[in-house]
A and B are shown apart, each in its own frame.
Chain A
Amino acid sequence: MKQPHPFVFDEFFASGLEESVSPFLTSVSRRWGKNLSLKSSLFSAFLLLTSFSLWWFIPDLSFLLLLPIYFLMGIPALIKALENLKNLEINIDMLMTSSAFLSLIIGSPFEGALLLVLFEISGALETTVSIKAKSALHNLNKLSPSTAFVIAEDGSIHEKSLRQIEIGEKVLAKAGEIIPLDGIVTEGTSNVNLVHLTGESLPILKTVGDTIPAGALNMEGTLTLQVTREGSDSTLSRIIQMITLAHQSKPQIERWVWKFGKYYASSIILLTFAFALLLPLFFSLPFLGIEGSIYRALTFLIAASPCALVLAIPTAYLSALSVCANRGILLKGGAIFDALNQCGQIAFDKTGTLTKATLVSKSIEPLFATSFPIETALRAAAALERNSSHPIAIAICKLAEDRPLPKIENFVSLSGYGVEAEVILENQKMKAFMGLPSYFKEKLSEENFAFLQKKIHETSQKGYISSLFVIEENFFLFTFQDIIRPHVKEMIHELKEKHSIRPFILTGDIKPNALLIGQQIDIETIYADLRPQDKLQIVSVLSEKEGLAMVGDGINDAPALARATVGISMGKIGSATAIDASDIILLHDQIHQLSWLFDKARTTHIIVKQNISFALFIIGFFSIPALVGLLPLWLAVCLHEGGTLIVGLNSLRLFKK
């Protein structure tokens, strides 16, 4: 019988208690709640069109059809407006809602309904896009393990929540699992990958007595750890706390359009009051009646309602978001385009961001004047390493692809040194070793060992990684390097030349490795040997002076990603923590698209400005004549809706790739 799984509430809470993913509704019923605001606004638009068509034939039926529009669209808008009023917040939402209901009061229900429908459609489109973005992100892995396997005193193993595991208890970490809590190894030996925690390219061998931080990836063996820090105090938790603090100290990305909208709304409302009270004093107008100042002030308020601002500007952002999504770039909101425009500097993590975090073989250098064929040495090394998941082993096997590999016997893993076996070449058994040169400290002469050490040091100074291969008495030095992602150099040039953005590298790796990469892609400013708190510190300081975008992939990047003006993470290789902390996700890890993205942000900004200018022109041009009675209200509203259509079409230009 299939074991029932507990219900997973994460998506429901991550979505902000969206009813379309409510755990209380039946799975069939949830479909009714999908994109509800968009469906109801589109339904209202249909009713409005029908009502308008019927107006000349059956006016009463036409009014009947307006009722559900005011019910479906008007009530949510009214509730929101009253809540804003309670908080003494005057904004575009309040302006639109008061215009819509005042239209109804002064006998222009169509205009009011039109305002409500357009207003709701723009809001619904934004909500739909942001829900989609949230649910796409939810499908990624959980941030960190929440349970661990605890070994009880009697040897039995139980799964326990991390919050309940105390210091001193023993936990089990199997191959491929993330280490749940900080601890000391009490049993087992394995390579652990810390690339997401510290940026170190290579896995580190851990054995009894070594400390391992929570969040490291246990690669091969099973480890038993004695917990040294509780869950709330683990390395991973402290990084997550850093992310939360970084988010809180980051200035809110307020869409500048909403700032403008607040001033606009307040101005229009004040002017309306002014016209209503002062017009009779300056002109011979009554207060009441269809020619009265109150009626005219209300028509001015309605004609000045910024439909273009509420519809065309979100559509500009939405168009840009859609085009980005089609290219595999996910943004968590339209306001991020504004933030990107503010960025004059960009920080890159190295391993996994600028590079693929995959080693590739650079060279095979024979040492001590050996005449053993390099090709045979390669095949023998690949045979030795073929069953290992270590990055060096993978690189060797990749180099030896399509070559016939010899058989091996008596394979031994030498803890702390490497691997050893007998390789069968031309019916002869040859003893072979792959690993650290320290294994030969006692076996080589002092002079030869010193030469070996010097060679290793030279390669590491150049930023390469090396490994020693010995077959019988023949020594070979294999060197490796991390591969830079394609087109990164060109992207860096474009950022510098086209967008005047200054790039630099922030990495937890050692300086020589960082310098090597920096030289290859023309980035001069490099900060290396950084811990997560160091990266956060640098980003905090630099982003105070000027907008800073940060690109990263690891858990160690997450606090800096959260604090940067714009955080950009790698979607495929990136850790879930980094993705969660960032504002933009490159779903296919195509970092070379950054130049295009900055371009798109600038174009979006230009189009939004064009839309606002045009909308203001239309409003100014038609609402003043409506105020002085030169233009009937219905014409003013129609012309101004026509302007809305034009700015809407202008926004669609952003679809151009």
Chain B
Amino acid sequence: MKKLSAFQKAKQLLIAQIRGQTITSDFFQSEFPQHYLIFIETAKETILLIGILWIIFPSSSFMLFGILSLFGWIIWKTSQESYLGWKKLQILHRIIEEERWEIEHHRPQERKELEAIYNAKGLSGTLLDDVIDVFMANDNRLLQIMLEEEMGIVLESYDHPLKLGFSAALAVGITTIGLLLSYFWFANWGIIVSGVLWLSLITGFSAKRSKSKIVTALIWQGGIFVLVLFTTYFFMKLVS
């Protein structure tokens, strides 16, 4: 077995953490359950899409093309979110299999990795040895610790891909129905007011859950939307 220098050990640890974080980054930037996050982001994208369609299509055909386009959008978002969820789950399953193989076949190396991790946390000497012995005594415990400490992966924290897809579908459905109905009853003002209200609601909720400043979040999010919509509007004018 090749003896690793301290630098090599640290490098391996960093790579493992980056791998873990790459898998988990989408879902651990906030403090939301995944399906909430997907609902919020999909709802925002749908508002943006409806806004762009509203700008592009003349008012006589907006409803028709709006509805037709959104059929495709709902299928896209539902399938894509589910597909990405399954892809991530596959990667996680592959990681756990690899880690299990390592524990079965390279136990001394796993011990050294654990020692490095807990040494970095401040443990040393006989205390470190005793702690490592306890972890190494139970394969299930060892596997869990390697996933959590080495990879930064938390167990039982992901939603099923179908649930994610369903959240996306729900977000598109609610947003579309709300905005199009507002347009149907109140024409342009309806869609502007309902769009702003819905965007503010979901942005505010998201900011509150993640304990960020609500006003800042609203302004930034609103600013991005205004930027996109007005850019589209002025480009339309240029082209036409």
Contact = CB atoms under 8 A, between A and B. Distances in A.
A32 B167 CA distance: 13
A459 interface: no
Interface string A155-178: 000111101100000000000000
Contacts of B100: 9, 13
A32 B157 contact: no
Nearest to A31: B160
Interface string B128-141: 00100110111111
B144 to A, nearest CB: 5
A367 to B, nearest CB: 54
A19 B96 CA distance: 13
Contacts of B89: 19, 22, 24-25
Interface of B: prevailing SS: helix
Contacts of A27: 156
Interface string A520-546: 000000000000000000000000000
Contacts of A25: 89, 156, 158-160
Contacts of A30: 160
B26 to A, nearest CB: 14
B137 A161 contact: yes
A241 interface: no
B162 interface: yes
User: Closest 9 CB pairs between A and B?
Assistant: A6-B141, A32-B160, A29-B160, A6-B140, A32-B162, A29-B159, A161-B137, A159-B137, A24-B158
A405 B40 CA distance: 76
A154 B141 CA distance: 26
Contacts of A17: 93, 97
Given A17-B97, A24-B92, A25-B159, A164 B140 contact: no
Given A22-B89, A23-B96, A29-B163, A160 B137 contact: yes
Given A13-B100, A158-B133, A163-B107, A26 B159 contact: yes
A164 B137 CA distance: 8
Contacts of A7: 140, 144, 155-156
Interface string A138-168: 0000000011000000000011110110000
A288 B91 CA distance: 47
Contacts of A24: 89, 92-93, 96, 153, 155-158
Nearest to B148: A7
B134 A159 contact: yes
A446 interface: no
Nearest to A148: B137
Contacts of A1: none
8 contacts: A9-B96, A9-B144, A13-B100, A31-B160, A147-B137, A160-B133, A164-B133, A164-B137
Nearest to A162: B137
A161 B107 CA distance: 11
B139 A26 contact: no
B111 to A, nearest CB: 9
A44 to B, nearest CB: 15
B143 interface: yes
A150 to B, nearest CB: 9
Given A7-B144, A158-B133, A23 B138 contact: no
- Which of B96, B144, B156, B160 has the most chain A CB within a 10 Å cutoff? B160
A337 to B, nearest CB: 32
B162 A23 contact: no
Nearest to A165: B137
B97 to A, nearest CB: 7
B155 A161 contact: no
B167 to A, nearest CB: 11
A29 B86 CA distance: 13
A10 interface: yes
Contact of A26 (B144, B157, B162): B157
B137 A33 contact: no
Given A27-B156, A32-B160, A22 B138 contact: no
A8 interface: yes
Contact of A19 (B133, B138, B160): B160
A10 B134 contact: no
Contacts of A8: 140
Interface in B98-143: 100, 107, 130, 133-134, 136-141, 143
Given A32-B162, A163-B107, A9 B93 contact: no
Contacts, number: 81
A154 to B, nearest CB: 11
- Which of A6, A30, A36 has the most chain B CB within a 10 Å cutoff? A6
Interface in A445-469: none
Contacts of B162: 32-33, 36
B163 A32 contact: yes
Contacts of B92: 22, 24
Contacts of A13: 100
A8 B140 CA distance: 6
Contacts of B136: 160-161, 164
A164 B96 CA distance: 22
B4 to A, nearest CB: 20
A369 B137 CA distance: 61
Given A19-B89, A29-B158, 20 more contacts: A6-B140, A7-B140, A9-B96, A19-B160, A24-B155, A24-B158, A25-B89, A25-B160, A26-B156, A26-B157, A26-B158, A26-B159, A29-B160, A32-B163, A33-B162, A158-B130, A158-B133, A158-B137, A161-B137, A164-B133
Nearest to A164: B136
A361 B70 CA distance: 81
A8 B141 CA distance: 8
A311 to B, nearest CB: 26
B138 A146 contact: yes
A210 B153 CA distance: 48
B143 A147 contact: no
Contacts of B107: 163-164
A8 B137 CA distance: 14
Nearest to A27: B156
B13 to A, nearest CB: 21
A7 B158 CA distance: 15
Interface in A543-598: none
Interface in A13-63: 13, 17, 19, 22-27, 29-33, 36
Contacts of B93: 17, 22, 24
Nearest to B139: A146
Contacts of A23: 96, 155-156
Interface string B73-104: 00000000000000001001100110010000
Contacts of B130: 158
A338 to B, nearest CB: 32
Contacts of A31: 160
Nearest to B97: A17
Contacts of A10: 140
Contacts of A164: 107, 133, 136-137
B165 to A, nearest CB: 10
Contacts of A32: 160, 162-163
Nearest to A147: B137
Nearest to A68: B75
A161 B138 contact: yes
Contacts of B143: 9
Nearest to A12: B96
Contacts of B157: 24, 26
Nearest to A13: B100
A8 B139 CA distance: 9
Nearest to A40: B162
- Which of A8, A13, A161 has the most chain B CB within a 10 Å cutoff? A161
Interface in A164-194: 164
A30 B161 CA distance: 10
- Which of A22, A23, A163 has the most chain B CB within a 10 Å cutoff? A23
A27 B100 CA distance: 22
Contacts of B97: 17
Contacts of A33: 160, 162
